[in-house]
Amino acid sequence: MFIAVDDTDSREGMCTTFLATELIREFDDFDLLDYPRLVRLNPNVPWKTRGNGAIVITIGYGKRKNRKIGNLQGEVYIHEEDTEIPKKREFLERVKRKVEQWAELDNDNTNPGLIIADERPSERFYRKAVRDVVDFEMVQKELDRGSYLYKGYDDRRGLVGALSALAWRPGDFTYELLTYRKKDRWGKERELNEKDIINMDGALKKAFDNYDHEEKEQAIAPNSPCPVLYGVRGEDPDELKQALKMIDGEKPERWLIFLTNQATDDHIQEKKISEASPWTSAKIGGKVISEPRIIEGGHILFEMEDVTGKITAAAYEPTKGFREVVKKLISGDKIELWGGIRKDPKTLNIEKMRILGLEEKVEKVSNPECPDCGKRMSSMGTNAGYRCKRCRTKAKEKEAERKKIERGLEETCYEVPVSARRHLSKPLTRDNTCRSTSRRSS
Ligand SMILES: [Zn+2]
């Protein structure tokens, strides 16, 4: 039996993953049969709360403890399934009580949805919700058709996320170990030692995005007043547990490992410029057709085109040092960009960039020498060629002595720093298409 919940948090507090820990505790008369899942959905929808993540837990009767995945003031294990439990109406009451206890129901932007199901819906709900905008009608139709127990609050948008998370089949996936604070610490400053985080980042070989080496700042603890103390991301759930011993300071009250679609690029679709619609994310190949320009606020914009049209690409101020890379692009460079599409004006917000071909950049060193008398010739104006003042011999513009300018760029992949990365963005360290040529900056 699956329990899916979405949209219980707000910018001011709470975290839907904390609710997962509460639900596991609530249903301790059953066994956990799978990792709890944290499923991130389209980061570009305008009404998202914080990280646009929904959670799913799977319970039933197990026969044997398989592996330890958490401690919620009591050890949490995944069990091998023995028998299923069919959903019952009383379970809905139990989940509702927990949601109503913890969700930020007063917040206008928080619209929780919860679903209890015996089966997963079609994967198309997930694919649509991670890449695009899901029509509520489509979700309502499925809820009416299937044998779900469900409850939506306020505008019921949380039902879209809950159903879509339930529909996720992990193709590519990662894990996140999340730790939570004692309730009396919520909203207070987190006491973590940056050195521990740097050491942990170096020691855990399959973990990623835990420390921002470019901005020199930790990336595991949120800045919001939510119950999360820190979260460590990686590919090996057993290795992640080592972080608990390596990070000193404030002691978590509970911890739990989630299976997630974070760092998978599941939100990205390859598109032509004319097909890239607002509120989706795309990977687009094309040619740079304008010099990058800096606008107020420190954002960098340039234009790119493919055979179907052109689009503005942007590296916003929070992408920090990545902007220095973007600034070096020139007209004629061939690139691929990954990013979210904004509406009005249609802009691609760059998450990652691959340089496929660098245009040669040259600079004039000096005017040509006269082929007849050897004197340095004079310019006749911009692009108008040269003339020798002594013997009146003329020379074309291209005769001037030029030298190639070092571009300071390579034909490889570049990405925004950890601090500016989307939950769904696949970092270069785990991207096979870029791995061969990219270097991890540190
Ligand atoms: Zn001459």
Distance 362 CA to ligand 1 centre (A): 26
CA distance 299 to 420: 13
Q: Ligand 1 centre and the CA of 388: distance in Å?
A: 5
Structure tokens at 263: 């760092």
> 339 has which bridge partners?
282, 350
Give the global pTM: 0.91
Give me the mean pLDDT over the 419-439 stretch.
80
The rounded distance, in Å, linking the Cα atoms of 15 and 228 is 7
Report pLDDT for 12. 62
What 8-state DSSP symbol labels residue 345? T
> What is the whole-number distance in angstroms between the Cα of residue 184 and the centre of ligand 1?
87
- In tens, the pLDDT along 333-390 reads 999 999 999 988 889 999 999 999 999 998 889 999 999 999 999 999 988 999 999 9
HEC letters along 43-55: CCCCCCCCCCEEE
What spacing in Å lies between the alpha carbon of 339 and ligand 1's midpoint? 56
Kind and range of the H or E element at 75?
strand 75-83
Q: How many A from CA of 394 to the centre of ligand 1?
A: 9
Distance 387 CA to ligand 1 centre (A): 8
Identify the residue whose tokens are 């059953």.
Answer: 30
For tokens 């521990």, the residue is 196
Domains and CATH numbers, the chain: 1-264 (3.30.70.2200), 268-360+407-421 (2.40.50.1010), 362-404 (no CATH)
- Three-state SS string across 141-182, please? HHHHHCCCEEEECCCCCHHHHHHHHHCCCCCCCEEEEEEECC
What is the three-class DSSP state of 370?
coil
> Can you give the pLDDT at residue 7?
81
The pLDDT, as a whole number, for residue 436 is 47
DSSP characters for 2-68?
EEEEE---BTTB--HHHHHHHHHHHTTTSEE-S--EEEE--TT-TT--SS-EEEEEEEEEEEEEEEE
CA distance 57 to 97: 16
Ligand 1 centroid from CA 340, angstroms = 58
Distance 142 CA to ligand 1 centre (A): 85
Averaged over 275-284, what is the pLDDT? 95
Distance CA 17, CA 53 (A): 8
CA 83 – ligand 1 centroid, Å:
97
Of the given ranges (47-56, 191-200, 313-322), which has the lowest mean pLDDT? 47-56
φ, ψ for residue 39 (rounded to 5)?
-115, 115
CA of 120 to the centre of ligand 1 (A): 84
CA distance linking residue 322 with residue 341, whole number of Å:
18
Distance CA 28, CA 64 (A): 15
Dist. CA 368 → ligand 1 center (Å): 11
Give the Å distance between the CA of 369 and the centre of ligand 1.
8
Q: 275 and 309 in contact (C-beta within 8 Å)?
A: no
Residue 377's nearest CA partner among 395, 398, 404, 401 is: 395
Q: How far is the CA of 390 from the centre of ligand 1 (A)?
A: 5
Distance 365 CA to ligand 1 centre (A): 19
Question: Which of the four pLDDT bands, split at 50, 70 and 90, describes residue 24?
Answer: very high
